[in-house]
Amino acid sequence: MSRRSSSFGPTVVLGLGGAALATVGAGRSWAEATTTAQGTRTVAAAGTDVAAGALPLALVALAAWGAVLVLRSRGRRVVAVLGLLASVGAAVAVATGAGDAGEVASEMLGGASDVTVTTSAWPAVTVVGAVLAALAFAVALVHAPRWPEMSSRYDSPVDRGHEKESPTDAELWRAMDEGHDPTA
């Protein structure tokens, strides 16, 4: 691998992994509350209940990596900025809401007495994933111009500057009158 593109593979793997980890973590159970009053009941507060913005932002970051793979330099930079903002937003949403996970789970029991709350490590996992994705997007922003690009083989002729003039209506009718298919 050339020196020019040596950061491409590791950055994409780190970014995809971080965004996927944040996406998975945001959907998991962050806290459980159990009450024994009037029978045993247990409820779980997922990341989407505690930090509602974390999952959508993590999904945006995950989708942005797909765009980074297929775009060229300028497009990669734009998507890297969007992905960076989404990743940082997900990390902030989790960091500010994770402390309330136990309280949210308790509220889901409807004010029951004798409540026991347990929390999980998923908020921390989600923050770590979002931060890793943000770091990878920052690398992509800096190094995108030097990364390899997809072939232009399947680009439309208009994209390559070989724009063909469209025939006029009269020319289309004349071609049909002569027995030619103008769409072929």
Q: Say which residue, 68 or 154, is predicted with more confidence.
A: 68
Answer whether residue 172 shows pLDDT above 90. no
- Among residues 126, 98, 111, 122, the alpha carbon closest in space to that of 33 is found at 111
Residue 159: pLDDT band with limits 50, 70, 90:
low
Q: Is 179 a member of any domain?
A: no
Task: For residue 28, give the DSSP letter.
Answer: S
40: left (phi over 0), alpha (psi -120 to 50) or beta: beta
Question: What mean pLDDT is reported for the chain?
Answer: 86
Residue 138 near residue 61, CB atoms below 8 Å: no
pLDDT digits (tens, 9 = 90+) for 29-52: 988 888 887 778 888 888 888 899
Q: Is residue 161 part of a domain?
A: no
Residue 98's closest CA among 121, 65, 66, 67?
121
Question: Which CATH number characterizes residue 72's domain?
Answer: 1.20.140
pLDDT in tens, 131-148: 999 999 999 999 888 887
The reply to whether 15 falls in a domain is yes
**166 within domain boundaries:** no
Q: Is residue 112 part of a domain?
A: yes
Q: How far apart are CA 62 and CA 77, in angstroms?
A: 15
The range of the structural domain enclosing residue 15 comes to 3-150
Split into its structural domains, the chain has a count of: 1
Q: Which of 130, 146, 126, 128 is nearest to 85 (CA)?
A: 130
Say how far apart CA 159 and CA 172 lie, in whole Å: 25
CA 81, 101, 103 angle in degrees (round to 5)? 140
